[in-house]
């Protein structure tokens, strides 16, 4: 494209036959096309959102468990359908569905040829109904799909010979789509299904979320390891006499190191067992929070358990090696005579680890706050249109014979009390989406813009309460080169760089259209992806009208819906749909469900990490106070106050906390910025978040060390001086 390379997984229909016949490395191929459709059986009727036209070869490439019916060629004939077990029960209950019929779109009879088990929960291609691709060809028998290279509405997958070199194959097929009618330079390439699963087709941040959760898990482990190392080093004082006597008695340094490592690994294995038990028990709660369906077998298979066992062993060794070396270097004679010069040197290493611990905690605090801000922004994002007080009905692609009946039906609706506006359109926001390329009149053929396309009546903007920025009334043009008129959104106006878009012309498929209005951007699909340039082609009575939308007065909404549904059956008796309340559709639900789960999970993980860090500081303070018991007693005897003694202990840790904040700010900004880059619409990172992170860590430090230091400072000096 003029603004750079754009990758897409949407491909043309003839691509399967083209590659399989032209390249021996390509063993097989399959394609499918997702669609929403109304399916019925006797008195049951459902709008299915997970239906797909599928090649019969789909079942030869993917492993599918057939429960009943034709396992070899279930979709080899037109007007056939394969159902999942759950869908079959929905329509036929306990009856055998094989050979029975489903009515699609009120007029096409589909024969059930097979029933399959539900596809795996982690599959990207989980459909409820698999309609044969030949059904689509039969329904649209007037079109020659073998030549429709420009119609890229299909997902295509290929099975490649395992001995072939995919990179060389990509070089061969790169120019396969040249001279196929594309208006931009288009190169074809294959990528592994594993890459598709995590990255290219995912909106926003599926792959990044895995990285974020993984990093948080690593951060928690690092903090836990630092705690263990620090506590082991500081607690070495309690074992100095034991270590010194063993050294004098002839123990080797290696035996002391092995003992420390053994204790560390043993603790790690105990933690591993407890952690695994908790993971298994808490998995249902985790699924409930994130809205996932991860089965327990994922964490109960041998390879996963063994890998976690090795991880536990590695953590035990890493956490134990540094304290073991430090403890083994204790000077035996000095320790036995009470001199602690060596012990003080042992403790010096802990300060750097404490700074790292603070830095990680602050990074998590700042990142979590920023993520919460971003998700809150998504929750409250403006859709750009008003979905309330609307009723809608799916009418399909009506023929020219039905247009007059549809117009008569509209005229009747306008007579109902409370009807304010009516529009016909090919797509409604969040109910279908079409895209194409266009260019400015006079621009070179390769200077194209990718746009969302809709065909609608002039009343579309008023019906959806979409704000018109500028526009004019349609007048009949004497210029025969202009075949229609259109509205464009603000994004399209900016990208086309018109000084004044009104009256300018655009070209799509070599047809010219005049721009007569500009409207504000509104969301047509995902809330997480950026709003594309949009074009609404205007006609008095759309020949391709999938939807009818009616804006009503609120108090007459249900009554008008009932009356309109009954009247529609008189004008279009083949139509099986009824009007539904468009305002009841929660377009943010799917996004918010994912966002809420991520919020809770990130918050929980951050809380665990901060809690572990606080526990570590709490333990270090306890040991520090214990080592300074005699000093505290002397200071109390000489008149020191509780606050002065508290300040004596606290100042070191507060200094380390401040230093940890300084170290954390740049990584926290970088990580947070990386997270925000995955959102098309995002917040700006504010300075107050870093200030809040700073004061939060300082406050946590003050509270954490307060218990032991104040308790020690209030102890009777006589008891302190009797210590040891």
**How many residues belong to the chain?**
724
The model scores a pTM over 0.75: no
What's the confidence (pLDDT) of residue 134? 94
Distance of CA 228 to the CA centre of its chain: 35
On whether the CB atoms of residues 85 and 131 are closer than 8 A, the answer is no
Tens of pLDDT, residues 384-420: 899 899 999 988 765 445 567 888 888 899 989 999 9
Helix, strand, coil shares, percent, the chain, to 5: 50, 20, 30
- Residue 161, SS3 per DSSP: coil
Q: Given the DSSP bridges, would you call strands 505-508 and 449-456 parallel, antiparallel or unpaired? A: unpaired
What's the confidence (pLDDT) of residue 101? 92
On whether the CB atoms of residues 84 and 128 are closer than 8 A, the answer is yes
Q: For residue 262, give every residue at least 6 positions away whose Cβ sits within 8 Å of its Cβ, in sequence order, or none.
A: none
What's the confidence (pLDDT) of residue 113? 95
Tens of pLDDT, residues 59-108: 999 989 999 999 989 999 999 999 999 999 999 988 899 999 999 987 89
Q: What is the pLDDT of the chain when averaged over all its residues?
A: 82
What element of type H or E holds 7? none
pLDDT at 338 over 70: no
Q: Given the DSSP bridges, would you call strands 154-160 and 26-41 parallel, antiparallel or unpaired? A: antiparallel
Query: pLDDT above 90 covers what percent of the chain?
Result: 23
For residues 239 and 627, what is the distance between their CA atoms, to the nearest angstrom?
13
pLDDT at 203 over 50: no
What's the confidence (pLDDT) of residue 676? 80
Distance of CA 696 to the CA centre of its chain: 29
pLDDT at 720 over 60: no
For residues 143 and 122, what is the distance between their CA atoms, to the nearest angstrom?
36
Tens of pLDDT, residues 14-65: 999 999 999 999 999 999 998 888 898 877 888 888 899 999 999 999 989 9
Residue 362's pLDDT band, with cuts at 50, 70 and 90, is confident
* Both tokens assigned to 115: 């029933």
On whether the CB atoms of residues 508 and 492 are closer than 8 A, the answer is no
For residues 256 and 329, what is the distance between their CA atoms, to the nearest angstrom?
10
What's the confidence (pLDDT) of residue 173? 92
pLDDT at 200 over 50: no
Query: Can you tell me the mean pLDDT for 488-504?
Result: 89
What's the confidence (pLDDT) of residue 716? 66
Query: Can you tell me the mean pLDDT for 328-333?
Result: 62
* Both tokens assigned to 417: 């009390």
DSSP 80-142: EEEEEHHHHHHHHTTS--TT-EEEETTTEEEEEEEEEPPPPTT-S---SEEEEHHHHHHHTTT
Residue 488's pLDDT band, with cuts at 50, 70 and 90, is very high
Query: Can you tell me the mean pLDDT for 642-650?
Result: 79
What's the confidence (pLDDT) of residue 41? 86
On whether the CB atoms of residues 68 and 134 are closer than 8 A, the answer is no
Alpha-carbon radius of gyration of the chain: 34
Query: Can you tell me the mean pLDDT for 659-672?
Result: 89
* Both tokens assigned to 361: 């905690």
Residue 541's pLDDT band, with cuts at 50, 70 and 90, is low
On whether the CB atoms of residues 417 and 590 are closer than 8 A, the answer is no
Least reliable range by pLDDT among 254-263, 561-570, 587-596: 587-596
pLDDT at 701 over 60: yes
What element of type H or E holds 434? strand 434-440
pLDDT at 374 over 50: yes
For residues 455 and 535, what is the distance between their CA atoms, to the nearest angstrom?
8
What's the confidence (pLDDT) of residue 399? 47
pLDDT at 435 over 50: yes
What's the confidence (pLDDT) of residue 637? 78
124 phi and psi, to 5 degrees?
-80, -10
Query: pLDDT above 70 covers what percent of the chain?
Result: 86
- Residue 387, SS3 per DSSP: coil
Query: Can you tell me the mean pLDDT for 516-520?
Result: 92
Tens of pLDDT, residues 225-255: 888 887 777 666 666 666 677 667 766 777 7
For residues 503 and 516, what is the distance between their CA atoms, to the nearest angstrom?
6
């Amino acid at each position: 494209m003029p603004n750079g390379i754009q990758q897409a997984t949407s491909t043309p229909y003839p691509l399967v036959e083209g590659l399989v016949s032209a390249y021996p490395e390509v063993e097989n191929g399959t394609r499918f096309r997702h669609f929403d459709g109304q399916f019925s059986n006797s008195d049951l009727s459902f709008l299915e959102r997970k239906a797909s036209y599928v090649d019969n070869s789909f079942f030869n490439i993917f492993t599918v468990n057939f429960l009943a019916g034709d396992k070899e060629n279930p979709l080899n004939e037109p007007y056939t359908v394969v159902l999942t077990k759950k869908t079959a029960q929905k329509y036929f209950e306990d009856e055998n569905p094989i050979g029975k019929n489903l009515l699609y779109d009120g007029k096409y009879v589909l024969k059930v040829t097979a029933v399959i088990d539900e596809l795996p929960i982690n599959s990207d291609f989980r459909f409820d109904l698999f309609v044969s691709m030949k059904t689509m060809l039969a329904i649209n028998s007037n079109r020659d799909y073998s030549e429709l290279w420009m119609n890229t509405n299909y997902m295509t997958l290929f099975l490649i010979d395992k001995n072939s070199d995919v990179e060389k194959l990509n070089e061969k097929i790169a120019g396969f789509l040249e001279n196929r009618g594309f208006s931009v330079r288009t190169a074809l390439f294959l990528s592994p299904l594993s890459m598709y699963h995590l990255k290219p087709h995912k909106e926003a941040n599926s792959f990044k979320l895995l990285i974020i959760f993984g990093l948080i898990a690593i951060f928690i482990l690092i903090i836990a390891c630092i705690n263990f190392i620090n506590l082991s080093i500081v607690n070495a004082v309690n074992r100095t006499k034991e270590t010194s006597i063993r050294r004098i008695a002839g123990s080797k340094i290696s035996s002391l190191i092995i003992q420390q490592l053994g204790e560390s690994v043993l603790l790690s294995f105990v933690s591993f067992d407890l952690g695994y038990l908790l993971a298994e028990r808490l998995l249902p709660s985790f699924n409930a929070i994130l809205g996932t369906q991860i089965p327990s077998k994922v964490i109960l298979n041998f390879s996963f358990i063994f890998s976690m066992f090795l991880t536990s062993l590695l953590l035990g060794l890493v956490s134990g090696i540094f304290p073991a070396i430090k403890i083994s270097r204790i000077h035996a004679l000095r320790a036995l005579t009470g001199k602690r010069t060596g012990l003080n040197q042992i403790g010096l290493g802990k300060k750097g680890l404490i700074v790292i611990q603070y830095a990680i905690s602050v990074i998590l605090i700042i990142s979590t706050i920023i993520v919460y801000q971003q998700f809150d922004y998504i929750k409250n994002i403006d859709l750009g249109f008003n979905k309330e007080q609307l009723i809608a009905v799916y009418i399909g692609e009506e023929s020219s014979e039905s247009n007059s009946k549809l117009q008569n039906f509209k005229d009747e609706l306008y007579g109902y009390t409370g009807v304010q506006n009516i529009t016909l359109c090919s797509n409604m926001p969040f109910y279908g989406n079409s895209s194409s390329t266009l260019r400015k009149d006079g621009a070179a053929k390769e200077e194209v813009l990718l746009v969302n396309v809709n065909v609608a009546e002039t009343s579309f903007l008023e019906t959806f309460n979409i704000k018109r920025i500028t526009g004019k009334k349609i007048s009949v043009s004497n210029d025969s080169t202009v075949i229609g008129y259109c509205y464009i959104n603000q994004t399209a106006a900016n990208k086309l760089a018109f000084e004044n878009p009104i009256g300018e012309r655009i070209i799509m498929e070599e047809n010219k259209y005049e721009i007569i209005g500009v409207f504000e951007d509104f969301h047509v699909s995902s809330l997480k992806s950026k709003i594309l340039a949009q074009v609404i082609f205007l006609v008095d009575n759309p020949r391709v009208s999938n939807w009818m939308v009616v804006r009503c007065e609120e108090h007459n909404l249900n009554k008008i819906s009932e009356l309109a549904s009954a009247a529609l059956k008189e004008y279009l008796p083949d139509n099986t749909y009824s009007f539904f309340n468009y305002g009841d559709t929660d377009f943010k639900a799917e996004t918010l469900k994912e966002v809420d789960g991520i919020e809770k999970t990130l918050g929980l993980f951050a809380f665990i990490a901060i809690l572990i860090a606080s526990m570590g500081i709490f333990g270090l303070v306890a040991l520090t106070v214990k080592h300074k018991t005699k000093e505290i007693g002397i200071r109390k005897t000489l008149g020191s106050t509780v606050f002065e003694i508290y300040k004596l202990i606290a100042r070191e840790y507060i200094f380390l906390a401040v230093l940890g904040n300084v170290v954390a700010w740049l990584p926290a900004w970088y990580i947070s910025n990386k997270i925000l880059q995955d959102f098309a619409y995002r917040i700006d990172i504010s300075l107050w978040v870093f200030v809040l992170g700073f004061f939060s860590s300082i406050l946590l430090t003050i509270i954490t060390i307060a218990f032991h230091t104040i308790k020690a400072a209030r102890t009777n000096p006589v008891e302190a001086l009797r210590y040891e």
